[in-house]
A and B are shown apart, each in its own frame.
Chain A
Amino acid sequence: MGRRGEARRQLTRSAEAVSRTVEATWRIEAAKIIAALSRYVGDFGLAEDLAQEAVAEALRQWPESGVPSNPAAWVTTVAKRRAIDNWRRRDRLDDRVAMIASEMEIAQNAAVDEPPWDPDTIDDDVLRLIFISCHPVLGREAQLALTLRVVGGLTSEQVARAFLVPVSTIQQRIVRAKKKLAAAQVPFELPPAEDRAERLSSVLGVLYLMFSEGHVAASGPDWMRPELAMDALRLTRVTAGLLPGEPEVHGLVALMASTAARFPARVRPDGRPILLADQNRARWDRSLIHLGERSLRTALALREARGAYTVQAQIAAVHAEATDVASTDWTRIAVLYSDLNRAAPSPVTELNRAIAIAEADGPLAGLRVVDELAASGALATFHLIPSVRGELLSRLGRAEEARAEFERAADLATNEREREVLRAKARRPAGP
């Protein structure tokens, strides 16, 4: 026991070590703490404020007192105490405060290793938290910031790093988002049955965007920000655990896991990207591939009509099954892109179908689909159309046309790493 105590003190002595422990605890428990507090005080925004203040208090106290044996209970208790202090200051000592006070006394008498929330309602409360963070009254940026901080337990600093914006920008987004929710009088509850499908699709949209933003960074110096993508996967798994009967949640987990499985093979040590054709598949993350397979099976077993995420997961699974690009079943992939275009029509999907057709039936067949798409005027400012045209023209030996397309693509691309790759392609000699 003596040795154990000594080790604990050693690990928690410095303020820096404490702050890392607080961050880790917060990632694990934030959603439950805020969800439980929201139920107690009946107000999501206030609950979030109180929880943040309690965490700040932990950062002040724990370097002296040591990390408590149940950090989540400590933070929750401090937050509740602050709620009562606030009310007292405002001279509004009412029944609810009295109730919380008596609950606190009961809680303090209870065993310290008991969770500080009601195990029967906490899952529902966390689900409420997910729905409110992704509420349609909020803009996408606010939904992302709020979901990462409240459900994901990231600090504002971490969220700011993930989106390459100043911390103050994130803090403002959070404050404004909470004000907007309050102004719209959004209740802390699960969406009513008639709104459920739409609200769920809003949640999945936020998680998908979070993942994509980490997967192919839309701007900035890095090809990808894997931490953000992994947070998106983690939060989607959390959502799947809370909504086990929703096929598209599992479809989204499957899609993210199969895609994330390739991350270790996607970047060279110096940060330059490696294209799918050149990736060493031995470096793909096996445990994520298995998670993808399991989740896809679950999604397919739940419902016959597949949603867009499930179809995309199927496409990712076909890629994962192949040992290399040549042995990939491109005909199947082209069919799946047609399916996807029915589930969620999009010119990007059509472009992907063109790539699959080019692999299955040759570059000329693919080029025809791309040209039709270009003629439709869709994606006129998107670098991928000239990029794909350049690739197909190059394979057809039409070097000058290919070079011009790659140059055009490089001018349109917003990611610097991607632009470099396109410039390099413009310089290289044509060939299959």
Chain B
Amino acid sequence: MKFMLIMRAVDQAAVDAFEKTDFEEIIAAMGKYNESMINAGVLADGAGLSDASEGAVVDFSEDDPVVTDGPYGELRELFNGFWIVDVSSQEEAIEWAKRAPLGAGSQIEVRRVTGPEDFPQDNEWIQKEQEWVAEGKLAGN
């Protein structure tokens, strides 16, 4: 099963630490971490995100979507990157998350990537949809 490890800065401490540390050092630590997951045969995917100040937000609170430039909201919302690991349990995903080279002010959220098994099987429409999918009647997923 797959889990997404979502890396977040939740506190100014993470931003300060990042600015104080040599960028090459950070890249080396992350590279080592990624390599260890590749060599263990569990890393499926991953990406880092550019600075939130370069991003934009589409907000659906109003009748029409409102678009604002980043940086946005509170710091705790800053989502900096992710890994997808293919492992046997949530505990294993957590164990990998614990090994990430991060410090104070950083957080990793561990979330399972859903699959077909997540749909309620007793619902008539879900059953139909599963059959359509199984029989290749839907082009997408």
Q: Which partner residue on chain B sits nearest A1 by CB separation?
A: B104
Interface centre among B40, B94, B139, B141 (most CB of A within 10 A): B40
| Cα–Cα, bound, A242→B40 (Å) | 10
A241 within 8 Å of B (CB atoms) = yes
Binary flags per residue of B32-50, CB closer than 8 Å to A gives 1, else 0: 0000001111101100000
Q: Which stretch of A21-29, A129-137, A360-368 is in the interface?
A: A21-29
A385 within 8 Å of B (CB atoms) = no
Q: Is B96 a contact of A269 with CB atoms below 8 Å?
A: no
B91 CB contact (under 8 Å) in A21, A233, A265, A287: A21
Q: Which partner residue on chain A sits nearest B42 by CB separation?
A: A234
B73 within 8 Å of A (CB atoms) = no
12 contacts between A and B (CB under 8 A): A23-B92, A24-B87, A24-B88, A28-B92, A237-B40, A238-B39, A268-B130, A268-B131, A269-B121, A269-B134, A283-B133, A287-B44
Q: Is B40 a contact of A234 with CB atoms below 8 Å?
A: yes
B17 within 8 Å of A (CB atoms) = no
Binary flags per residue of B101-141, CB closer than 8 Å to A gives 1, else 0: 00000000000000110000100000100110111111111
Q: Is A233 a contact of B136 with CB atoms below 8 Å?
A: no
A281: B residues at CB distance < 8 A: 136
Q: Is A24 a contact of B92 with CB atoms below 8 Å?
A: yes
Q: Is B40 a contact of A283 with CB atoms below 8 Å?
A: no
B68 within 8 Å of A (CB atoms) = no
Q: Which partner residue on chain B sits nearest A69 by CB separation?
A: B98
Q: Is B134 a contact of A274 with CB atoms below 8 Å?
A: yes
Q: Is the interface of A mostly helix, strand, loop or mixed?
A: helix
Instruction: Known contacts A238-B39, A280-B133, A280-B136; decide if A264 and B88 are in contact (CB<8 Å).
Output: no
A282 within 8 Å of B (CB atoms) = yes
Binding site for A on B (CB under 8 A): 38-42, 44-45, 84, 86-89, 91-92, 94-96, 115-116, 121, 127, 130-131, 133-141
A92 within 8 Å of B (CB atoms) = no
B141: A residues at CB distance < 8 A: 280, 282-283
Q: Which partner residue on chain B sits nearest A28 by CB separation?
A: B95
| Cα–Cα, bound, A142→B94 (Å) | 31
Q: Which partner residue on chain A sits nearest B133 by CB separation?
A: A280
B44: A residues at CB distance < 8 A: 287-288, 291
A227: B residues at CB distance < 8 A: 88
Interface centre among B41, B134, B140 (most CB of A within 10 A): B41
Instruction: Known contacts A27-B88, A234-B40, A237-B41; decide if A282 and B121 are in contact (CB<8 Å).
Output: no
Q: Is B95 a contact of A268 with CB atoms below 8 Å?
A: no
A258 within 8 Å of B (CB atoms) = no
A282: B residues at CB distance < 8 A: 138-141
Q: Is B41 a contact of A236 with CB atoms below 8 Å?
A: yes
| Cα–Cα, bound, A234→B95 (Å) | 16
Q: Which partner residue on chain A sits nearest B134 by CB separation?
A: A268
Q: How far is the CB of A377 from chain B (nearest CB, A)?
A: 39
Interface centre among A231, A236, A237 (most CB of B within 10 A): A237
Instruction: Known contacts A269-B127, A280-B138; decide if A24 and B41 are in contact (CB<8 Å).
Output: no
B40 CB contact (under 8 Å) in A23, A236, A238: A238
Q: How far is the CB of B24 from chain A (nearest CB, A)?
A: 20
Interface centre among A233, A269, A288 (most CB of B within 10 A): A269
A200: B residues at CB distance < 8 A: none
| Cα–Cα, bound, A184→B70 (Å) | 67
| Cα–Cα, bound, A11→B96 (Å) | 15
A279 within 8 Å of B (CB atoms) = yes
Instruction: Known contacts A27-B92, A28-B96, A264-B116; decide if A278 and B136 are in contact (CB<8 Å).
Output: yes
Instruction: Known contacts A234-B42, A241-B39; decide if A24 and B134 are in contact (CB<8 Å).
Output: no
| Cα–Cα, bound, A43→B61 (Å) | 66
Q: How far is the CB of B40 from chain A (nearest CB, A)?
A: 6
Q: How far is the CB of A396 from chain B (nearest CB, A)?
A: 26
Listed from nearest, the 10 A-B pairs whose CB atoms lie closest are: A237-B41, A24-B91, A234-B41, A241-B39, A24-B92, A280-B136, A287-B44, A20-B91, A24-B95, A269-B130
A230 within 8 Å of B (CB atoms) = yes
A280: B residues at CB distance < 8 A: 133-138, 141
Given contacts A24-B92, A278-B136, A282-B141, 16 further A-B contacts (CB under 8 A): A23-B89, A24-B89, A28-B95, A227-B88, A234-B40, A236-B41, A237-B38, A238-B39, A269-B127, A269-B130, A279-B136, A282-B138, A282-B140, A283-B116, A287-B44, A287-B84
| Cα–Cα, bound, A265→B133 (Å) | 9
Q: How far is the CB of B13 from chain A (nearest CB, A)?
A: 11
B92: A residues at CB distance < 8 A: 23-24, 27-28
Q: How far is the CB of B91 from chain A (nearest CB, A)?
A: 4
| Cα–Cα, bound, A24→B92 (Å) | 4
Q: How far is the CB of B131 from chain A (nearest CB, A)?
A: 8
B91: A residues at CB distance < 8 A: 20-21, 23-24
Binary flags per residue of A256-282, CB closer than 8 Å to B gives 1, else 0: 000000001100110000100011111
A235 within 8 Å of B (CB atoms) = yes
Q: Is A235 a contact of B135 with CB atoms below 8 Å?
A: no
Q: How far is the CB of A395 from chain B (nearest CB, A)?
A: 20
Binary flags per residue of A34-69, CB closer than 8 Å to B gives 1, else 0: 000000000000000000000000000000000000
